[in-house]
């Protein structure tokens, strides 16, 4: 049985499973290394729901080959940059609730100079990264 909460996406992420159930995932300093090493599974046809804060431009691009990603602004301002056919498409997220739907297989990154928080619904299987 799921924990009713309250929970917080800054400290407890969610795995949305193919059977429409959700699993809570505690965030600690080893969360991302465990995820990247496969210790949390492959996320085959599953999504990871996270909320992250940052105040600088990302130092890498990422791409999700197995589904569209929802990126929603919670606070601050951010420019989401999508590589569409070798050209940069910039989507400005300026108001809480603004979001971009990043198409499957599209390289993307974020640019900001102010503190912002964002909600991500990510089809995690096969995610790729490349340095800027």
59: in domain: yes
Long-range contacts of 33-41 (CB under 8 A, 24+ apart): 35/124, 40/15
- Answer whether residue 1 is part of any domain: no
In a domain, residue 3? The reply is no
For 14-67, write each residue's pLDDT tens digit.
999 999 999 999 999 999 999 989 999 889 999 999 999 999 999 999 999 999
Indicate which CATH number applies to the domain containing 62: 2.60.120.10
Q: Is residue 85 part of a domain?
A: yes
DSSP E strands, 40-124: 47-54, 60-63, 69-75, 78-84, 87-93, 99-102, 108-111, 116-123
pLDDT 10s digits, 57-89: 999 999 999 999 999 999 999 999 999 999 999
Domain count for the chain, please give it: 1
The pLDDT of residue 114 is 93
Q: What contacts 51, CB < 8 A, 6 or more positions away?
A: 9, 10, 74, 117, 118, 119, 120
Residue 50 lies inside a defined structural domain of this protein: yes
Domain presence at residue 7: no
Domain membership of residue 32 as a residue range: 12-131
Instruction: Give the global pTM.
Output: 0.92
The answer to the question of residue 18 being in a domain is yes
Structure tokens at 25: 């995932």
């Amino acid at each position: 049985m799921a924990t009713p909460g309250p929970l917080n996406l800054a400290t407890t992420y969610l795995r949305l499973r193919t059977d429409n159930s959700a699993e809570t995932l505690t965030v600690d300093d080893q969360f991302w290394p465990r995820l990247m090493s496969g210790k949390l599974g492959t996320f085959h046809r599953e999504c990871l729901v996270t909320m992250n804060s940052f105040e600088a431009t990302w130092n890498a691009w990422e791409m999700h080959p197995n589904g569209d990603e929802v990126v929603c602004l919670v606070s601050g301002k951010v420019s989401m940059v999508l590589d569409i056919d070798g050209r940069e498409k910039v989507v400005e997220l300026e108001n809480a609730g603004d979001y971009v739907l990043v198409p499957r297989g599209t390289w993307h990154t974020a640019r900001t100079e102010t503190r912002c928080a964002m909600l991500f619904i990510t089809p995690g299987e096969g995610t790729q990264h490349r340095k800027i």
